[in-house]
Amino acid sequence: MLGPHRCDRAGGTLTGRMSTPPPPSTPQPGHGLLGLPHRLGRVFYGWWIVAVCFVGYFMIGGLYSHGLAVYFLPLTRDLGLSRGQLSFAFTMRAFEGGVDGPIVGYLVDRFGPRFMMRAGVTLAGLGFVLLATTQEFVSFLLVFVGLLGVGVSAGIHHACLAIMNQWFARHRAMAMTIGFLGGEFGGALLTPLVALMVLNQGWREAALWSGLLIPAVILPCTLLLHNNPEAIGLRRDGDAEPPVEASRPKVAPASHDFTVKQALHTMPFWRMAIAVGVRLFGKSALQIHFVPLLVWKGLGEQDAGVMVAVLALGQVPARLVGAWLGDRWSMTRVPALAALGGVGAVAVLLFGPQDSAWVGVLFALLFACGEGGNLVAWGLIGDYYGRRNYATLRGMVNLISSPLSLPAATWMGWVFDNTGSYSGALIPVAVGYTLSFLLYTGLKRPSPVGASAEPVSGS
């Protein structure tokens, strides 16, 4: 049994599990590590936590998530790989995210999101630097999956969502969305610069600079982080007293924390995990092959790189609208409807004319709509199962969903290598989005019987 941990109120060393005695009923403002008050004027400190996550996603989104799309064709030429082989590397990255999801999630719950963000960002920076030195496929695969993929997964995706889930309940979907939007702004502002560097100076130069910039920008920002509001005498959402839930009565935030075992024994958890998996099947196929798909439709590589920025910008209003609807309407229907945007994106590729920039724009915008409910779906885990084991449960969802999404990118590359066309590979993508729509539709809240009502506290 792991005992309670200790931490100084300025964000000091953390030991043990994130569960200590209940917080005081009256918030104690205090000051943080940099001498900043925990409530700056009328701004709840949780929004500063969101701002740090925004910066993290901005860098990772621009240089990694969206940025890697412009590496695809130059990598095939430089390393002498087929599209199927390189797609396999991206598939293994997704496999790694699924396998290590429960482990990384447990570590986030055990040591806190702040520690894991610092460790992961450092690992991601090192991964990019070493990636620039690889000369053949095996070493590229080891660095790309083993260092870069693990670092981004642990330091940004798991850590940021977990810490925002700790700080927000009623505004969970909006907080997570605003933080995640940093990735879309990064895609709009940084990815075009990455594309210019990759096409003019080479992908190795771009990878090296990415590895230096990521820790240099993100690590100083982590000085502002606290793992949860109770550590500094505050409550979630900035409430002075435990809130009376009035909004979104049909899907009110969970007042109990499920254990991992309890969550795994509920049908909504499995239905949610499968819905995530079949949606990620479509997302990974379209995102990894984004530039090659548009080149196949007749656009030039540089024009296709510009469409990456259109995709990123299009996700800003899509995610904001999705979050607003999720907090005020339904956290199940929003991701269900968003999946239909993915179906529309596939239809544009299959039936749109060749050599048309408008096909690229429409594809990017519909794909953006398909991602508009993504963060709402991740917020649904905290909404249904509480916050004590959020990161572990999110990792379990990754583990369950990964086998469903893994074949997508490799399948796309194999079909193109053998037929010279993506047409046959796009049908299963549309089917995956359709299944996601059906699974999210009618998803019901699990029963809290046996779940713990003990509050969560920590650093």
List, for residues 241-283, the tens digit of each pLDDT value: 655 544 444 444 445 788 888 998 999 999 999 998 888 888 8
pLDDT for the residue 49: 95
pLDDT for the residue 16: 40
pLDDT for the residue 171: 85
The residues facing 39 across adjacent strands are 44
Q: Whole-model pTM above 0.85? A: no
Mean pLDDT confidence for 391-398? 84
pLDDT for the residue 459: 41
Helix axes 333-351, 357-370, angle to 10 degrees: 160
pLDDT for the residue 83: 80
> How many CB atoms lie under 10 A from the CB of residue 33?
14
Helix axes 407-419, 423-440, angle to 10 degrees: 160
- 3-class secondary structure, 40: strand
Look at residue 37 and tell me whether its pLDDT is greater than 50.
no
DSSP annotation string for 294-363:
HHHTT--HHHHHHHHHHHHHHHHHHHHHHHHHHHHT-TTHHHHHHHHHHHHHHHHHHHSPTT-HHHHHHH
Calculate the alpha carbon distances from 302 to 305, 306, 362 in Å: 5, 6, 17
44: left (phi over 0), alpha (psi -120 to 50) or beta: beta
pLDDT for the residue 373: 75
CA angle 283, 284, 288 (to 5 degrees): 120
The residues facing 43 across adjacent strands are 40
Count of CA atoms in the C-beta half-sphere (13 A) of 405: 34
Identify the CA nearest to 260 among candidates 451, 83, 458: 451
Range 197-234 burial, b when 16+ CB lie within 10 A, else e = bbbeeebeebbbbbbebbbeebbebbebbbbbbbbbbb
Task: Specify the range with the lowest mean pLDDT, choosing from 15-24, 215-224, 400-409.
Answer: 15-24
Side chain identity, residue 383: D
Q: Which helix (H) or strand (E) holds 43?
A: strand 43-44
- 3-class secondary structure, 278: helix
102 Cβ contact partners less than 8 Å away, ≥ 6 residues apart: 392, 395, 396, 398, 399
The CATH H-level (homologous superfamily) assignment of domain 43-229+255-440 is: MFS general substrate transporter like domains (1.20.1250.20)
Quick one: pLDDT band at residue 32, thresholds 50, 70, 90?
A: very low
In 153-206 the beta strands, taken as DSSP E runs, fall at none
Helix axes 301-328, 357-370, angle to 10 degrees: 30
Look at residue 161 and tell me whether its pLDDT is greater than 90.
no
Residues 306-339: tens digit of each pLDDT? 888 888 888 888 888 888 888 778 888 888 889 9
Calculate the alpha carbon distances from 7 to 24, 44, 112 in Å: 16, 22, 11
Listed by start position, the domains of the chain span 43-229+255-440
Look at residue 224 and tell me whether its pLDDT is greater than 80.
yes
Calculate the alpha carbon distances from 251 to 262, 341, 352, 378 in Å: 19, 24, 39, 14
Range 377-403 burial, b when 16+ CB lie within 10 A, else e = bbbbbbbbbbbbbbbbbbbbbbbbbbe
Give the pair of three-digit tokens for residue 458: 């920590």
374 Cβ contact partners less than 8 Å away, ≥ 6 residues apart: 180, 279, 283, 319, 322, 335, 338
Residues 400-427: tens digit of each pLDDT? 887 887 788 888 888 888 898 999 889 9
pLDDT for the residue 399: 82
What percent of the chain clears pLDDT 70, i.e. is strictly above it? 84
The residues facing 40 across adjacent strands are 43
pLDDT for the residue 101: 72
pLDDT for the residue 98: 65
Quick one: pLDDT band at residue 220, thresholds 50, 70, 90?
A: very high
Mean pLDDT confidence for 164-176? 86
**Between 120 and 376, the higher pLDDT residue:** 120
Mean pLDDT confidence for 446-459? 50
Calculate the alpha carbon distances from 391 to 23, 162, 383, 388 in Å: 21, 6, 13, 8
Separation of alpha carbons 200 and 196, rounded Å = 6
The answer to whether 367 and 340 are in contact (CB under 8 A) is no
